[in-house]
Amino acid sequence: MRKTIVVIGASQGIGAELVNLFAKDENHLVIAFARTIEQNNRWASYENVRVHNLDLSSSSLQTDLTELLNNYPQVDYLVNNAGFLVNKPFLELSYQDIIQSYQVNILGVMQALQVFIPKMLQQGGHVVNISSMGAFQGSVKFAGLSTYSSSKAALTNLTEMLAEEFKDTNIKFNCLCLGAVQTEMLAKAFPGYEAPVLPREMAEFIVNFTLNQWKWINGKVIPVSLSTP
Ligand SMILES: NC(=O)c1ccc[n+]([C@@H]2O[C@H](COP(=O)([O-])OP(=O)(O)OC[C@H]3O[C@@H](n4cnc5c(N)ncnc54)[C@H](OP(=O)(O)O)[C@@H]3O)[C@@H](O)[C@H]2O)c1
């Protein structure tokens, strides 16, 4: 049976590679969301990819998402891959910097999950939250990333909470804390640093994890890192 896979934060970087890889299998219907994805629809010729603009920081997020998902009877896999990073000393962070980080990295994800979970309850599924090594307890920390890393840390905890709250259903929740991957976000966090991992390589890991590992793992926060940072 055809599986429906949603990737949020799919316009570039790791998310775009996730869509490429998930879409390789014709039995997958891939729904790709990001703020600015429709203008640059690189999957226009793909029969099994749909793209939609969705802003995790919008006040109409839940109504927008509910309306978009009306076109899809079910969701089997959800990868919450969107992320927003500000690199600034703590004392220089504006209220807007903090709000936007928390809105994209945790509050919008919570609101989106309130729409997705009811769609997954009947047939079960796997929710994979993409967090960061900076949000992993006990990891090396880097100055300038306080609002990014602390908002991503909330996502790691939310994963454990939801696995508990929905343990009697067939939905599994896991969180991957990524190490450095060569993307625009990494260049913002660590200018000039060269990561040992390409977006395609990390996407290969995430695709395999999403499709296969829910059978054995639930409510886990897993570091996925070759380097520091
Ligand atoms: N690269 C790394 O080294 C690294 C390390 C640890 C964790 N991560 C995590 O891995 C994930 C992917 O990172 P990346 O490096 O590929 O980042 P990226 O290239 O900056 O891509 C981020 C994605 O998030 C989307 N996004 C941002 N704000 C959004 C909003 N308000 N609503 C909806 N979508 C939004 C962006 O789309 P638009 O621009 O269209 O909004 C884009 O598709 C992120 O969660 C990041 O925190 C990355």
- Go through the domains of the chain in sequence order and give each one's CATH number: 3-224 (3.40.50.720)
Confidence band (pLDDT; 50, 70, 90) for 127?
very high
Res 1: pLDDT? 84
Rg (CA), the chain: 17
Res 128: pLDDT? 98
Res 14: pLDDT? 98
Average pLDDT over residues 182-198: 97
Confidence band (pLDDT; 50, 70, 90) for 141?
very high
Average pLDDT over residues 215-223: 97
- Report how far residue 228's alpha carbon sits from residue 81's, in angstroms, rounded to the nearest whole number: 21
Average pLDDT over residues 92-118: 98
Three-state secondary-structure class, residue 57: coil
Chain segment 53-93, per-residue pLDDT in tens: 999 999 999 999 999 999 999 999 999 999 999 999 999 99
| Terminal-to-terminal C-alpha distance of the chain | 40
Res 174: pLDDT? 98
Q: DSSP state, 162?
A: H
H or E element at residue 4: strand 3-8
Q: DSSP state, 135?
A: G
Q: Best mutation site among 185, 207, 210, 222 for ligand 1, i.e. most ligand atoms within 8 A of its Cβ? A: 185
CA 200 centroid distance within chain: 15
Res 147: pLDDT? 98
Q: DSSP state, 103?
A: I
**Residue ranges around ligand 1 (CB below 6 Å):** 9-15, 34-37, 54-57, 81-84, 104, 130, 132, 178, 180-181, 183-186, 195
Q: DSSP state, 133?
A: G
Is 148 noted as a catalytic residue in this protein?
A: yes
